[in-house]
């Protein structure tokens, strides 16, 4: 995915070729540049941090890439199921999905995210769709001009 959120496929045969994938958008109207591509059990997910109705409110929305129709589409996910997703400091780093996080004391259907670490932990965790109050939890990568952070991301899902 490039900085304009265009998704490309890399074909390896018969010869190396990069082609843009025609894809319908997420339907989320937002000026947020905070998003992550995540390989989650062989599916490509688009995790997007968007504003909520509250001034300082933000929440993660998740979409999976559906290639079953003539035109690919991002389909909204209501739950991550038994998966947890870890995101770092910005979209240049793909997220990491972990299945059955309860095995090590984690939480399913949750997003773990980096904070500024002003309290005793440099990270936070919320259930998918819950609201983050950025007046109380400062996201490490949230301030400044996020467009300066946008880079091309490479993700190799197992599909």
- List pLDDT tens digits, range 133-158: 777 776 655 544 444 444 555 565 55
**C-alpha R_g of the chain:** 16
pLDDT < 70 regions, the chain: 1-5, 24-33, 89-93, 116-119, 121, 138-159
Question: Whole-prediction pTM value?
Answer: 0.76
Mean pLDDT (the chain, rounded): 77
Chain mean position to CA 32: 12
Structure-block tokens of residue 97: 């999905």
């Amino acid at each position: 995915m490039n900085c304009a959120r265009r998704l490309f496929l890399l074909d390896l045969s018969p010869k190396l070729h990069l082609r843009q994938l025609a894809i319908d958008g997420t339907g989320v109207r937002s000026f947020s540049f905070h998003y992550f591509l995540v390989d989650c059990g062989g599916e490509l997910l688009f995790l997007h941090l968007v504003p909520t109705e509250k001034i300082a409110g933000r929440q993660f929305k998740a979409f999976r890439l559906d290639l079953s129709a003539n035109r690919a589409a991002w389909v909204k996910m209501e739950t991550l199921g038994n998966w947890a997703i870890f995101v770092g400091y910005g979209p240049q780093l793909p997220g990491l999905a972990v299945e059955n996080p309860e095995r090590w004391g984690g939480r399913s259907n949750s997003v773990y995210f980096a904070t500024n670490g002003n309290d005793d932990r440099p990270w936070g965790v919320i259930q998918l769709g819950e609201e983050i109050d950025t007046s109380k939890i400062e996201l490490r990568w949230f301030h400044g001009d996020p467009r300066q952070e946008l880079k091309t991301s490479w993700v190799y899902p197992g599909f």
